[in-house]
Structures are given as C-alpha cells and as structure tokens.
C-alpha cells in the first residue's frame, strides 16, 4: 500500500513539473524600438506654364533635384532653367539649356532658399524635390495688389516702391500671330532687370521678382492684355 501511495505521489509530482514546463507564464510583450522616417525624395514646389518668368521661392535641404520637361510642339525655341538665390546677382546653376523639346533631372547640393528662372516660350512642367525625412518649412506670403493695367499696344506702367519679393500676374487674349512681352525697368537703368512673358498667342502666367526699388513696366502687345502687380509680405 505504501508503495502504491508513493507511486501515485511520484506520478502527481511528474505531472506538476510537466505543467510548469509545458505551460510557462506568459512573458510581457517587447515592442520594437520606433525608427525615424528614412530620407526619401519629397516634392517641395512645382510649376508649369508656357512663358518666361521666375517661380515662387522654395526652401531645400542639402540634397535636392529638379525634374523638368518641355514640349516645343514641333517648334524649335530655346528653353532654359537657371537656379537663383534671392539677393544674389549670379546664377547658382544652369540645369536646362535645350532647343526644342526636352526633359531631365538635375541634382543640386546646398541647402537654402532658391527660385527657378525659366526662359522659354513653350509648355513646361517642373517639380522641385528634396531628399529628406521631413520637408523643410516653406515660405508663405500674403499678397497685396498695388497696381493694375490693361489695354492693347505699346505702353508704360509706373509702379510704386516695391520690396522683394513681388509678382506680376498677366494674361493676353492674343491671336496665334499676336505677341506679348513685358520688360521690367528699374528707375535710372538703361537695360531691363527682367523679361516676363515674351510669347505669341493666348496665354497667362505669374512671374516673381526679386529686386527691390522703383520700377515701371514696358509693355509690348498686339492683342488685349491685363496685368496685376502684387507686393508680398511674409506671414
């Protein structure tokens, strides 16, 4: 009888040990450490149009690129893109200089505030992308109208004192053979500080200016046009 009881006790002990081994207490879950977003290409600015003019300013990180395309639609005009910095008199880089249609991607290095000066009279599209985990804060402006003009033919339009940046919004109802161009003239200067539009046919656009001072617009138009000038104030 004692052997029988001992044998039962042994079986019970083995079963208990098996329960401990086979059914351990649940361990607390361990969360994997969170990772910061990996750097990747992110769009910070885009623009499209079919006329000469500068884009709005944008801010980049150390590495960024411009993806662009231009469609000459069977014509052979020149098309170019300059990288510029507000306040600088010299281009930062030239990233496109073609005759007729073209496309490409230009990688730039150097963080800061830039804008693109587009030279050409053909439809284009471009995107500015920065290589970063987080897009840098972009400049925002409130725009106040300071002058408007409209008409047809050659004319001059005086402007008040302006501080960079300011912009020119324009449109023309020109026929296919019509022409429209704006020369931005600074008081006392013999040569334009900028050319805007310079197109044939019906079109519209916005050109940003990065010079401060007193200006007037020399307008050459064979068809009806409208122009609005706005002063920017940073928010």
Would you state the pLDDT for residue 202? 87
Percent of the chain with pLDDT over 90: 70
Token pair, residue 75, equals 């014509």
**Interval 11-15 mean pLDDT:** 40
Give the CB-side neighbour count of residue 118, counting CA atoms within 13 A: 30
**Interval 151-167 mean pLDDT:** 96
**Interval 90-112 mean pLDDT:** 94
List pLDDT tens digits, range 113-149: 999 999 988 899 999 999 999 999 999 999 999 999 9
Would you state the pLDDT for residue 21? 39
For residue 184, CA distances in Å to 94, 158, 217, 220 come to 22, 10, 5, 12
| b/e sequence 104-141, b meaning 16+ C-beta within 10 Å | eebebeeeeebbbbbbbbbbbebbbbbbbeeebeeeeb
For each of the domains in the chain, give its residue range(s) and CATH number, in order of start.
38-138 (2.60.120.1540), 140-235 (2.60.120.1540)
DSSP assignment, residue 73? Answer: T
């Amino acid at each position: 009888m004692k052997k029988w009881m001992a044998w039962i006790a042994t079986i019970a002990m083995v079963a208990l040990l098996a329960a401990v081994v086979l059914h351990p207490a649940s361990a607390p879950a361990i969360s994997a450490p969170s990772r910061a977003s990996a750097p990747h290409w992110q769009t910070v600015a885009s623009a499209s149009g079919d006329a000469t003019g500068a884009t709005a300013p944008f801010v980049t990180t150390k590495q960024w690129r411009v993806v662009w395309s231009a469609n000459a639609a069977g014509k052979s005009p020149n098309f170019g893109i300059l990288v510029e910095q507000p306040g600088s008199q010299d281009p930062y880089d030239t990233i496109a200089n073609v005759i007729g249609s073209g496309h490409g991607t230009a990688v730039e290095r150097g963080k800061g505030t830039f804008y693109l000066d587009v030279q050409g009279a053909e439809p284009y599209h471009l995107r500015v992308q920065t290589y970063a985990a987080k897009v840098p804060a972009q400049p925002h402006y409130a725009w106040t109208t300071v002058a408007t003009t409209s008409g047809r033919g050659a004319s001059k339009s005086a402007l008040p004192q302006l501080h960079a940046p300011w912009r020119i919004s324009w449109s023309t109802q020109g026929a296919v053979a019509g022409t429209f161009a704006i020369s931005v003239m600074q008081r006392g200067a013999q040569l334009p500080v900028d050319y805007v539009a310079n197109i044939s046919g019906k079109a519209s656009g916005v050109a940003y200016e990065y010079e401060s001072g007193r200006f007037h617009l020399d307008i050459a138009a064979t068809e009806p046009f409208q122009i609005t000038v706005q002063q920017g104030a940073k928010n």
